[in-house]
Amino acid sequence: MEGNRKARSLLLVSGMTLALFAAQAALMKGFLLHIESAGQAMGLSALFALVYAGAMGAFALEEKPGRGTLLFAGAFTAATMLARVSMLDFVTADYNSFLSGWLEAFRVGGLRQLAEGVGDYNLIYQYFLLLITKVPLFDLYLIKFISVAFDYALAFVMMRAAGRFGGERAKLPVFFSVMLLPTVLVDGACWGQCDSVYVFFIVLSLYDLACDRPTRSAIALAVAFAFKLQTIFFFPVVLLGLLHKKYKLRHAMAFFAAYIVTMVPALVAGMSFADAISVYATQSMGQYYDRLTYGAPNLYMFFPMMDFSVGQPFKWMRYLPGIDAKAQNPYINPDLFPDLQHAALYACVILTLAVVVYWLIHWKEITPDMMLDLAMFFAIFLPFVMPKMHERYFFLADILSVLYAAKYAGRRFLPILVAGASLTSYCSYLMRQVPVDQRVSALMMLAALVIVSHDLLARMRKNRARLAKGGLAA
Residues 253 and 141 grouped into a single domain: yes
Do both 152 and 201 map to the same domain?
Answer: yes
Residue 33 lies in a domain: yes
pLDDT at site 118: 83
User: Same domain, yes or no, for 275 and 294?
Assistant: no
| 346 and 436 assigned to the same domain | yes
In terms of Cβ atoms closer than 10 Å to its own Cβ (0-12, 13-18, 19+), residue 162 is buried
Look at residues 281, 302, 330 and tell me which one is the last residue of a structural domain: 281
CA angle 429, 434, 439 (to 5 degrees): 105
Residue 287 confidence (pLDDT) above 90: no
How does pLDDT run across 396-446, given as a tens digit for each residue?
999 999 999 999 999 999 999 999 999 999 988 888 777 888 889 999 999
Clarify whether residues 78 and 99 are in a common domain.
Answer: no
Cα–Cα dist 232/318, whole Å: 39
- Note whether 324 and 391 are same-domain residues: yes
Which own/partner pairs from 458-462 qualify as long-range (CB within 8 Å, at least 24 positions apart)? 459/370, 459/373, 460/362, 460/365, 460/366, 461/365
State the pLDDT at residue 435.
82
Q: In terms of residue numbers, what domain contains 147?
A: 91-281
CA 233 to chain centre: 11
The dihedral sign for the CA sequence 142, 144, 147, 150: negative
Q: Is the pLDDT of residue 20 over 80?
A: yes
Based on the fold, state whether residues 277 and 156 are members of the same structural domain.
yes
8 A C-beta contact, residue 102 and residue 118: yes
pLDDT above 70 (res 310): no
pLDDT at 155 over 60: yes
CA dihedral 155, 145, 204, 464 (to 10 degrees): -70
**Which amino acid, residue 11?**
L
Among the listed residues 276, 275, 303, 279, the one whose alpha carbon sits nearest the alpha carbon of residue 291: 303
Q: Are 445 and 384 in contact, with CB atoms under 8 Å apart?
A: yes
Domain count within the chain = 3
Query: 392: pLDDT confidence band, cut at 50, 70 and 90?
Result: very high
Beta carbons of 435 and 421 less than 8 angstroms apart: no
Give the residue-averaged pLDDT of 56-78: 95
For the chain, how big is the Rg over CA atoms in Å?
23
Q: Among 281, 311, 332, where does a domain finish?
A: 281
Looking at residue 474, its pLDDT comes to 45
Residue 51: partners with Cβ closer than 8 Å, 6 or more residues away? 81, 145, 148, 149, 152
Per DSSP, the three-state class of 389 is: strand
CA pair distance 363, 376, nearest whole angstrom? 16
Beta-bridged to residue 294, according to DSSP, are 390
Residue 474 belongs to some domain of the structure: no
The reply to whether 379 falls in a domain is yes
Q: Are 192 and 151 spatial neighbours (Cβ–Cβ below 8 Å)?
A: no
DSSP state of 293: E
Question: In this predicted structure, what is the pLDDT of residue 313?
Answer: 55
- Please say whether the dihedral angle defined by the alpha carbons of residues 57, 15, 143 and 151, taken in this order, is positive or negative: negative
Are residues 97 and 118 located together in one domain of the fold? yes
Strands (E), 129-269: none
- What is the Cα–Cα distance from 77 to 340, expressed in whole angstroms? 46
For residue range 313-328, list pLDDT tens digits in order. 555 555 555 555 565 5
The mean pLDDT of the chain is: 89
Range 107-114 average pLDDT:
90
Q: What is the pLDDT of residue 278?
A: 83
Least confident of 118-132, 185-199, 214-228, 363-377: 118-132
Global pTM reads 0.92
DSSP state of 474: -
Domain membership flag for residue 114:
yes
What pLDDT score was predicted for residue 38? 96
Res 309: pLDDT: 46
Amino acid at 325: A
Residue pair 151/184 in contact by the 8 Å Cβ criterion: yes
Separation between Cα atoms, residue 455 and residue 461, nearest integer Å: 10
Q: How far is CA 51 from its chain centroid?
A: 19
β-bridge mates for residue 390, sequence order? 294, 295
pLDDT of 53 strictly over 60:
yes
162 and 20 share one domain: no
Give residue 472's pLDDT band: very low, low, confident or very high (50, 70, 90): low
pLDDT over 90 percentage in the chain: 71
Q: What is the pLDDT of residues 165-181, one digit of tens each?
A: 999 999 999 999 999 99
310 and 213 within one domain: no
pLDDT in the model for residue 468: 84
Counts of helices then strands in the chain (DSSP H, E): 22, 2
DSSP annotation of 33 reads T
Residue-wise burial string across 103-120, b where 16 or more C-beta atoms lie within 10 A, e elsewhere = bebbeebeeebbbebbbe
Percent of residues, the chain, with pLDDT higher than 70? 89
Q: Show the beta-strand stretches assigned E in 96-169.
A: none
Shared-domain flag, residues 206 and 326: no
Q: Which pLDDT band holds residue 335 (cuts at 50, 70, 90)?
A: low
389 beta partners: 293
Asked if 232 and 203 count as a contact pair (C-beta separation under 8 A), the reply is no
Which residue stretches of 64-138 are H helix? 67-85, 93-94, 100-109, 113-116, 123-132
Residues 274 and 387 in one domain: no
**Rounded mean pLDDT, 148-156:** 98
Distance between CA 442 and CA 301 in Å, rounded? 7
* Domain boundary pick from 251, 281, 311: 281
CB atoms under 10 Å from CB of 224, counted, come to: 23
> What distances in angstroms separate CA 22 from CA 30, 46, 55, 307, one per listed residue?
12, 9, 18, 46
Which of 407 and 295 is assigned the larger pLDDT?
407
- Phi then psi for 124, rounded to 5 degrees? -60, -40
Count CB atoms within 10 A of the CB of residue 469: 8
